Amino acid sequence: MARYARPVTGRLVVLSALLALAGVATGGGTARRTAIATWNPFDAAGAVKPSLKIKPLGLGSCSPISEVIGEFGYRCGADNLVADPCWRDGPHQTDLVVCPYSPWDARAATIRVPHFMLASGVTFAARVDLRSDPPWGLELENGNRCLLAQGAHDSIATRNGHRLVVDYFCDRDSVVLVRNLRRGRVWRIGAARWTGRRYRLLGDVVIRRAIFPSLPPPMQRQNDLARAAAAASGLPLSQLLRVRISFPALDWANVEALAPETSKAISVWVVVHRAGRSWSIVHVRRPVCRSPQLPASARRQLFGCGLPRPERRLMDTDRSRWLMPHLCTSGWWLRHGAGSPASRLPRPPAWAARDAAASLGLSHPQTHPGMASTI
């Protein structure tokens, strides 16, 4: 996760609709209402904010879903460094991602990912649900700033034998926040302090502002079209892995999801086409790179047709790596064995229910305040 440093100079974009729901915090004293804000590293046109100081990290790779902000962004890496969350560098086709350290920091990293649009696709996030979605960042009443934890989460034993999961790490005083966020007129959450040997519970703290991820308008439109394409594909939205979409018309999409438990494939895909506001499934015959049902530009953008075979194989290797957190569920490997390359889905299958809590996150060193990772 990102390091914590000086406040960001770019402004936080506070949505009027959300403010009407959640109100505004006072400058001092007890917050009368918790303010709700959204943030992304772009201006309204989708250009990176000039206030951000950019540090290039060179070549890397990304998984299509961030561990921190979910389907709004990506989890990326370069060399031995992990950067999460990352955003695609604007609404155009690009091989570059932008990874801000935090919504308060004036610094961001960039990573160049070869064939990024093929490897990771576009975002396909649902609209933020203030009732259940975890905020990316929390500002406490005392000014402490806290970011959502990644990877394996620590837990704190209570006197009655229960354990509280650590969900946020704060930038001051070795404070962490636990998984008991309560949302209302004023949001509150339990806090604890790492003493160097154990956690000491501090009781509830008041949240002055909760910050959620967002997209600039041009990228939000692409995101919503990708979400609609996924819904039209017949694949379960809870199992989505990646959505590739054709530019500039945004009228063809390749939707990929985890294969059903009865399949030997790791993932399955469905091609959909948009006419106006409606998407419909197109049954593409193989080999797809010679299919007359798809225009040449769609074959290239949805399947990588025209790329040298070694580069296409490399993308399959990358896909297998970022699929691992989704696949490491109880009994998955016993059911599927080694798996096989992605296959086209002939018809919507019956997906078995999958316990989301059983999914294993990527390995991450951030298990207590003394072991925060950096990018």
CA distance 221 to 14: 19
State the chain's mean pLDDT as an integer: 80
pLDDT at residue number 159: 86
Residue position matching structure tokens 């309560």:
182
pLDDT at residue number 178: 96
> Helical H runs in the chain?
16-22, 116-119, 217-233, 296-303, 309-327, 332-336
In this predicted model, what pLDDT tens digit does every residue of 245-270 receive, in sequence order?
999 999 999 999 998 888 888 889 99
Tell me: pLDDT of 16 over 60: no
CA distance 259 to 279: 22
Provide the pLDDT confidence category of residue 117 given band limits of 50, 70 and 90. Answer: very high
Please give the average per-residue pLDDT across 180-185, as a whole number.
96
Greater model confidence, 30 or 120 = 120
Query: DSSP character for 349?
Result: -
First vs last Cα of the chain: how many Å apart? Answer: 7
- Among 76-90, 101-115, 191-205, 302-316, the range scoring the smallest mean pLDDT is 302-316
Greater model confidence, 23 or 33 = 33
Residue position matching structure tokens 């999460």:
84
Please give the average per-residue pLDDT across 119-148, as a whole number.
96
In this predicted model, what pLDDT tens digit does every residue of 209-235 receive, in sequence order?
999 999 999 999 999 999 999 999 999
- Which sign does the torsion angle of CA 223, 228, 232, 236 carry? positive
Tell me: pLDDT of 2 over 80: no
> Percent of the chain at pLDDT above 70?
74
In this predicted model, what pLDDT tens digit does every residue of 27-79 receive, in sequence order?
345 668 999 999 999 999 999 999 999 999 999 999 989 999 999 999 999 98
Please give the average per-residue pLDDT across 169-190, as a whole number.
96
Question: Nearest to residue 130, comparing CAs of 31, 254, 36?
Answer: 36
Tell me: pLDDT of 333 over 70: no
pTM over cut 0.75? yes
Tell me: pLDDT of 26 over 70: no
CA distance 118 to 243: 9
3-state helix, strand, coil in the chain (%, to 5): 20, 30, 50
In this predicted model, what pLDDT tens digit does every residue of 348-366 receive, in sequence order?
333 333 333 222 222 233 3
Tell me: pLDDT of 285 over 70: yes
Task: Identify whether the C-beta of residue 177 lies closer than 8 Å to the C-beta of residue 138.
Answer: yes
CA distance 75 to 95: 14
Q: Mapping DSSP to helix (H, G, I), strand (E, B) and coil, where does residue 172 land? A: coil
In this predicted model, what pLDDT tens digit does every residue of 78-94 receive, in sequence order?
988 899 999 999 999 99
In this predicted model, what pLDDT tens digit does every residue of 286-318 receive, in sequence order?
899 999 999 999 999 999 999 887 776 666 555
Spell out the residues 6+ positions from residue 136 whose beta carbon is closer than 8 angstroms to its own: 39, 68, 69, 85, 103, 147, 148, 211, 212, 213
pLDDT at residue number 355: 33
Joined tokens for residue 51? 């206030």
Q: Please, what's the b/e burial string for 17-45 (b: 16 or more CB within 10 A of its CB; e: otherwise)?
A: ebeeebbebeeeeebebbbbbbbbbbeee
